[in-house]
Structure 1
Amino acid sequence: MAAEHEGLDLRLLGPVRAWRDGTEIPLGSARCTAVFSALALHADQVVSREQLVAAVWGDDPPASATGNVYTYVSALRRALEPGRDRWAAGRTLTSGAGGYRLHVPGPAVDVHRFEALRERSRRHRAAGDQRAELAELEAAMGLWRGEALTGVPGRYAEAQRLRLTELRLATAERRATLLVELGRHDEAISTLRMLVTAYPLQENLHAVLMSALHAAGRRAEACEVYDRLRDLLRDETGTEPGAALRAVHGRVLGRDRGGAGPAPAAVFVGRTAELRLLRDAVAAAAAGRGGSVWLKGAPGMGKSALLAAALRDAARPGCRIGWGVGDELARRMPLGVLRECVESAGAGDGEPLAADGPEPGIVDRTVATIRRAAAEGPLVLVIDDLELADDATLRVWTALHALTGELPLLLVGAGGPADGDRRLDELRSLHPGEVVLPGLTPADAAALVWRTAAGPPEPRILRRLLADAGGNPCYLRHLAAGAWREPGGPLPAELVAAVTAHLGPFAEETRQILRAVAFLGADSGRHVGCTVPEVAAVTGRPADEIQRVLAPARAAGVLGAGPRLVFRHRIVARVLHEGTPTALRLMLHRSFAEKVAAAGGAPELVVAQLLAGPVPPGPWAGRWLAGHVEQLWARAPKPTIAVLQRARAQYTVDHDTRVELTAWLARLLFLQGHGAVAEAGWVAARATDPALEAEMRWIVAGTHERRGDHAAAADVVRLVLAARRAPEPWLGRFRTLLTRLRTDLPGDPAAPITRTAGSADPISVIG
């Protein structure tokens, strides 16, 4: 069969076109092309008629939709196999089991080739081979010929178009980043200028372009890029550039938080013990006693704000204070961070720090310079984000600790956990009592929200903010600023930028696995976490590899330390989940549900994925639910009812399965004491099994009785007894029910039922 179709070349990354052995195949009308696109995206897989109808017409297809699908498939068969006899079975496009299958190998479809190249690039990135990664990405980008599925109508095509566009942008951005890292600035700049023209509001692309221009020494042009985007955002959306882009702009201007000291603190609460420790250390330095403090905490935990609050008045007792900040740019400059720190204290005037010459000489000369400065009077040196400092700065900083016992020199370092960074091993040994910042207490967190928000938030909103932020001051401030947004609305852009920046230092594979954790742990707006085997099931990666990839996130405090994968700050999971484009988010949830089910995972996790947003259960989900509903009911009653209600509303579930699931829904609603007339009546009108029909009518009668509508209940009983289709055990139960109802019926309850000509069965009309 494979040899039959070796000459096929199907292209969806642009206008949809198909060739066989170099000859283009006419695909017909727009809707015919939509059917072809859905089949090609599921190459060599069966696609049901219901799926094709939904792909082309969405949730409201015309009555002629199924017939039109037959017509389109017939036209495609003639186009794909023009020499086939009219009555001969097709070989390229076949039908069976209520669906159709396009027999082409995945590599014949450009979308599948694109995704395969991206996957290979990811493996090269994990191996640290930048050039091989770049080659795969360039091959992937070379497959594009315009907007994916250009002009193809239908909800499915639109969702795929959005998904593929997001992947294209991510691929282009990563390719440009690699070009910059490999020193090919002109190529990167040329590519990025075209991209920002095509996508003028994409801040990430502008950030990479600004970085490329800055690396090429073209700072003025980088600033022009920022200014144009800022003006465009103001005109088009009424917003300002996000925090991540502003940070790039600050680096281009050379005004990172360093030389001018700490950023002004906005609102600061709590941290009483830490404040006292730092202020006592400054007082000791002013009195002639040196020392050192190493402050550690996860991103956003308020290290910089604490330093600003504690050291704001350090100059009053006669201390000179210098500030430096480590970052990726300064890391490339030997002694860059320390020079910034010393010069801002006015301690290196006339004797600048030099990074030239053999390494021991650099350390010795720099230590000697700072020794002379500290001998002149108390000196406080502060380096924020110490783990990002260059190697020369770290070596000198370590050597300076020997001076703190004899001179009024106070060294204050602050940074993230960075437990796996071997460069900091010697420095760690000098700080057995390092200060680790925990999350704010609930009382301090609430106080920060009250002082940051425009007004006191409602108790319900406050509880949600505190739970989402997990005591992280940075997240609390951003959440408080957006506390008046509509529930369920988009997260504040500044918050998304902050979380994205905190996750930025991780490798792409780590961020991808973190997103999978966020999706698997999502449960009705909360984050309940997941297990490593569950992540392995949806990603197809071994458990030990997942543990390795997530180790940096655990070390940085993004994930908790327990065996279950839970985000320490729930808002990070929300950003990863809600920040994913809607169409891609729905596809991932549907895919994760299917993969967890196939791996035999917890049924309630499968249901959580099906309920995470408007994810319509497909045919496989209907069959899976039918086989697991009793187990689900015992473990998670409310989600079981919710997913059955959603499945009942989906016409893509086949008729028999839909009847079975609706019957279960009626049973469970009745057991919970809820009304089940509509559900049970719908099944009773369609059931072919007399026992099932009797059970559903029993539920209808029982629901009426509970509501006190004894006449309606009696009508149902009399209809069942008159029809005599129910098995004898059921007839006995209905007779007993009628006897019980008699005392509450008006008139003569024993009178036979009478129905006027043309009157409808009061049950069969339901549903």
Structure 2
Amino acid sequence: MSAEPEGMDLRLLGPVRAWRDGTELPLGSARRLAVFSVLALHANRAVSREQLVTALWGENPPASATGNVYTYVSALRRVLEPSRDRWAAGQVLTSGGGTYRLSVREQDVDVFRFEALRGEAKQHRATGDRQAELTVLAAALQMWHGEPLAGVPGPFAEAQRLRLSELRLATAERHATLLIETGRLDEAIAVLRALVATYPLQENLQAMLATALQAAGRPAEAQRHAAPSPAPARTAAATAGRGPWPVPSDRASLIGRDAEIRRLRRAVAEVADGTGGSLRIEGTPGMGKSALLTVALRGATPAGCRAGWAVGDELSQRMPLGLLLECFESAMPGDTNPDLVKLLFAVAAEAVDGPSGDIVARAAELVRRAAEQAPLILVADDLQWADPLTLGVWSALHADTRELPLLLIAASRPGGSAVARPTESAAGQPADSEIDRTGGSETDRSGTGDLNAVPVDEVVTLAPLSPAAATQLIRAVAPEPLDPRTFRDMLTDAGGNPSYLRHLAAGGFESMTLSAAVGTQLASFSEEARQLLRAIAFLGAGSDTDPGCTLTELALVTDRSRDDLIRALTPAVTAGVLTAAGEWVAFWHRVVARVLHDGTPTSLRVMLHRSFASRLADTAAPPERVVAQLLAGPVPLDSAIARWLTVHIEQLAGRAPHLAVNVLQRARAQYTVAPAERLELTAWLARLLLAQGRNGAAEAGWVAARTPDPELEGEMRWVAAVSHERRAEYEAAADIARSVLREHRVPPRWIDRFRHLLTRVRPYLAGNPTVPHLSRSAIIGDGVSVIR
């Protein structure tokens, strides 16, 4: 096996560069850089020619791709080993069996050094050494010299750019958090200002900057960063060009959508044969509506057909017939029939001056004339953003699709349609939810038109992906194989949503793009609605199964009436962000709740959980709901919380024993709790551990050594002895029993129990297990039954 060369320095965290023995190597063209990057990021591992071709050109490589790869590798060999004889075997870049291998030490590649430092920082974080963690993170960030793999072409480089940029942002955020927590506020403010300038839509960065400024005594500046309201972002389809079809997005988005693709392509084929129709693709945010339209329709327009595409946004509502104009103009290029386009613009101009009863009829007639000339396909993505006149024309044209070669395809969030469907809410929950009964039309900032009034032949609903399809998507996107638990958590948290699955698989919960995706999907809601969504995320943060809350709880912590809550949350239910059934509201996808919760700065997170716990406790909420807030923060357990726990611990133990153990373990570990309350809570912890078959000996012994109450001392010594007995630690159990019987300080009922315990363990003791100074009859007693 060839030795790894010394003196190599490969840098990918910025422009791709390489040095050997202090001399920079001329790596050459962009494609050669792409090959070099793939090999460097797979250092000491075999990479096949097919992998390199896919990395450079994706799914549609040129015919010369394989030959080009051979040329690039040969050129790189000469650069990496200039003194190597042409016919001698290489040592740095080797080949064999159709594969290539770059043999370098991992510490010679800056990406691996960066990732190693991140791992070291996590170890310091686990041990609580914040200063060491801060030092390591600073060293990791100093390794960056710009955009990773800058200028390197190909899908592999693009994916790695995204992954590494996300890691850099996550590292920078943690670095800034530690600067705040260690009191280095000026440094934190400078770092965060630079991050906010680079990532202006990251609400968590704005909030962190506000926290640092407030702590530094600059409240006026902090206020400017306290409540960012990012504007809705247009989809990739909207910015990809005029078309007729936008550039398709990641093919992984369409895993599990074969039937829907076939349905759309069949409709396109039918319109070419003279049969029109109207379809609507409905799905909650992230279900892949735009990607479905793009992949299914791009390149599928038959000869002789015209196709137009438009994407709705907030501006579409302000321009009469705006969405229809964009769609119609893209279907009618200048050399086709410019007169029809000019006439439609004239109709729209009249509508600007004021409403007119014949605007819809005249606009629809122009579209009919175009369809009479040649088969016409109109595609409107995000139809919920359309202005009322566009929706009116779309409705009027529905009847014409039965007579003309006119195909209307729209995509929208769930909002109802004129086609007969089962009685259920937009979020798929039973229709008896209070929120669902309020109407369900899309209002707020997510659209003003009434989609219920637009008739359609067929609604194609994009349901969550099946577990099999979701698994396939994760495996297609994840850069490395995932362990079973991570895989399972991704499936649960994403809830079958392709967008969330893709972001989780690519970067996990530290992913910058995951946070951005959630932020974009929530940006269409008002600031009021977003704050309520955040409150729901916090109220459900302590639950492993259903991250939600009741309307009563939400009203308590937000000081809002139920009517106000129902009005503000209806758009989120209609859009499929929330699910509502009766009194309960929860997130349709757990990942949204986690992003909203975990993206909140730690100090603010603790404060909110403490406030919510206090409000719930004051109104006699179930104790498990209060404790869930204490554990989700983590909230320091002060004396007020400890007093509440001592009153409610018995009820909590009966309703949620495992949750009770968690909060009691927290209480025992915090010395801010008063001694008497700490003693009582620790006694409850020992009881519950024993009841759950766990070892409570240490906790029970701690209480027994400190309590002045003989009854409690007897109980705790009993818990400790039985804990030892269950773990087959018979000598330890016998020692406790002998001590109790010798001292004879606890009440008689405990004396009897210890006699029986000693009898039980006697056969397992080494040597002579009798107790000094006690007769056998004294040990056995009067035969009282054993209480385990």
User: TM-score per shorter chain, which class?
Assistant: 0.5 to 0.7
Match for residue 636 of structure 1? 656
**Matches of 1:479 and 1:604, distance apart in 2:** 30
Amino acid corresponding to residue 668 of structure 1 in structure 2 = L
Aligned counterpart in structure 2 of residue 350 of structure 1, from 332, 338, 342: 338
- 1:309-324 superposed matches below 5 A: 309-324=295-310
| 2:326 matches 1:340 | yes
**Matches of 2:769 and 2:499, distance apart in 1:** 74
Aligned counterpart in structure 2 of residue 399 of structure 1, from 381, 390, 396: 396
Aligned counterpart in structure 1 of residue 441 of structure 2, from 408, 420, 445: 420
The Cα of 1:576 is off from its aligned counterpart by 1.2
Q: Aligned residues, how many? A: 531
Larger mean CA deviation between 287-296 and 381-390 belongs to 287-296
CA shift in 2, pair 1:381/1:651, >3 Å: same
The Cα of 1:323 is off from its aligned counterpart by 0.4
Percent identity, please: 51
CA shift in 2, pair 1:462/1:536, >3 Å: same
Whether the 8 Å CA contact 1:337–1:389 is kept in 2: the answer is: yes
CA shift in 2, pair 1:456/1:199, >3 Å: closer
Match for residue 549 of structure 1? 568
SS for the counterpart of 1:557 is coil
SS for the counterpart of 1:292 is strand
Whether the 8 Å CA contact 2:395–2:454 is kept in 1: the answer is: no
For residues 452-501 of structure 1, the C-alpha deviation after alignment (integer angstroms, 9 at most, x for no partner) is 2235534333222221111211112112212xx5xxxx431111111111
Aligned counterpart in structure 1 of residue 744 of structure 2, from 714, 719, 724: 724
- Higher normalized contact order (CA 8 Å, seq sep 6+, divided by chain length): 2
The Cα of 1:247 is off from its aligned counterpart by 4.4
CA shift in 2, pair 1:588/1:438, >3 Å: same
**Matches of 1:531 and 1:258, distance apart in 2:** 46
Amino acid corresponding to residue 293 of structure 2 in structure 1 = L
SS for the counterpart of 2:307 is strand
Whether the 8 Å CA contact 1:491–1:575 is kept in 2: the answer is: no
The Cα of 1:715 is off from its aligned counterpart by 2.9
Match for residue 684 of structure 1? 704
- 1:478-557 superposed matches below 5 A: 478-482=503-507, 485=508, 490-523=509-542, 526-557=545-576
The Cα of 1:572 is off from its aligned counterpart by 1.1
SS for the counterpart of 2:402 is coil
For residues 526-567 of structure 1, the C-alpha deviation after alignment (integer angstroms, 9 at most, x for no partner) is 544322112222222222322222111111111224222121
**Matches of 1:475 and 1:205, distance apart in 2:** 17
Aligned counterpart in structure 2 of residue 300 of structure 1, from 260, 269, 286: 286
SS for the counterpart of 1:566 is strand
The Cα of 1:379 is off from its aligned counterpart by 0.9
- 1:57-456 superposed matches below 5 A: 200-204=197-201, 247=233, 255=239, 259=243, 261-267=245-251, 268-346=254-332, 349-351=337-339, 352=342, 353-354=344-345, 355-358=348-351, 359-360=356-357, 362-418=359-415, 419-421=440-442, 424-425=449-450, 428-431=453-456, 433-456=458-481
Whether the 8 Å CA contact 2:244–2:307 is kept in 1: the answer is: no
SS for the counterpart of 1:434 is strand
The Cα of 1:503 is off from its aligned counterpart by 0.9
**Matches of 2:520 and 2:667, distance apart in 1:** 39
- 1:32-47 superposed matches below 5 A: none
Whether the 8 Å CA contact 2:196–2:205 is kept in 1: the answer is: no
**Matches of 1:306 and 1:471, distance apart in 2:** 16
CA shift in 2, pair 1:556/1:390, >3 Å: same
**Matches of 2:248 and 2:532, distance apart in 1:** 36
Whether the 8 Å CA contact 1:159–1:583 is kept in 2: the answer is: no
CA shift in 2, pair 1:739/1:495, >3 Å: closer
CA shift in 2, pair 1:207/1:397, >3 Å: farther
Whether the 8 Å CA contact 1:207–1:248 is kept in 2: the answer is: no
State the TM-score, normalizing by the size of structure 2: 0.62
Whether the 8 Å CA contact 1:203–1:245 is kept in 2: the answer is: no
C-alpha RMSD of matched pairs (Å): 3.6
Aligned counterpart in structure 1 of residue 485 of structure 2, from 460, 464, 477: 460
CA shift in 2, pair 1:404/1:657, >3 Å: same
For residues 322-346 of structure 1, the C-alpha deviation after alignment (integer angstroms, 9 at most, x for no partner) is 1001101333233332222122223
**Matches of 1:554 and 1:313, distance apart in 2:** 36
SS for the counterpart of 2:414 is coil
CA shift in 2, pair 1:393/1:248, >3 Å: closer
Match for residue 4 of structure 1? none
| 2:773 matches 1:746 | no
SS for the counterpart of 2:686 is helix
CA shift in 2, pair 1:433/1:161, >3 Å: farther
SS for the counterpart of 1:622 is helix
Amino acid corresponding to residue 399 of structure 1 in structure 2 = A
Whether the 8 Å CA contact 2:232–2:523 is kept in 1: the answer is: no
The Cα of 1:255 is off from its aligned counterpart by 3.5
The Cα of 1:378 is off from its aligned counterpart by 0.8
Whether the 8 Å CA contact 1:347–1:373 is kept in 2: the answer is: no
CA shift in 2, pair 1:378/1:546, >3 Å: same
CA shift in 2, pair 1:390/1:551, >3 Å: same
CA shift in 2, pair 1:440/1:363, >3 Å: same
**Matches of 1:738 and 1:291, distance apart in 2:** 85
Aligned counterpart in structure 2 of residue 648 of structure 1, from 657, 668, 685: 668
Whether the 8 Å CA contact 1:386–1:414 is kept in 2: the answer is: yes
**Matches of 1:324 and 1:686, distance apart in 2:** 75
Amino acid corresponding to residue 558 of structure 1 in structure 2 = V
Amino acid corresponding to residue 667 of structure 1 in structure 2 = R
**Matches of 1:660 and 1:731, distance apart in 2:** 22
**Matches of 1:438 and 1:372, distance apart in 2:** 37
The Cα of 1:200 is off from its aligned counterpart by 3.4
State the TM-score, normalizing by the size of structure 1: 0.63
Amino acid corresponding to residue 767 of structure 2 in structure 1 = P
**Matches of 1:208 and 1:327, distance apart in 2:** 26
**Matches of 1:559 and 1:735, distance apart in 2:** 59
CA shift in 2, pair 1:466/1:626, >3 Å: same
Whether the 8 Å CA contact 1:663–1:683 is kept in 2: the answer is: yes
CA shift in 2, pair 1:469/1:673, >3 Å: closer
**Matches of 2:286 and 2:504, distance apart in 1:** 13
The Cα of 1:697 is off from its aligned counterpart by 1.8
SS for the counterpart of 2:751 is helix
Whether the 8 Å CA contact 2:642–2:673 is kept in 1: the answer is: yes
Whether the 8 Å CA contact 2:529–2:568 is kept in 1: the answer is: yes
**Matches of 1:637 and 1:287, distance apart in 2:** 67
CA shift in 2, pair 1:445/1:728, >3 Å: closer
Amino acid corresponding to residue 377 of structure 2 in structure 1 = V
Segments of structure 1 that go 5 or more residues without pairing to the other structure are 1-58, 61-153, 170-194, 210-243, 754-767
Whether the 8 Å CA contact 1:526–1:570 is kept in 2: the answer is: no
SS for the counterpart of 1:261 is coil
Whether the 8 Å CA contact 1:207–1:245 is kept in 2: the answer is: no
**Matches of 2:608 and 2:306, distance apart in 1:** 55
Whether the 8 Å CA contact 1:283–1:317 is kept in 2: the answer is: no
Match for residue 239 of structure 1? none
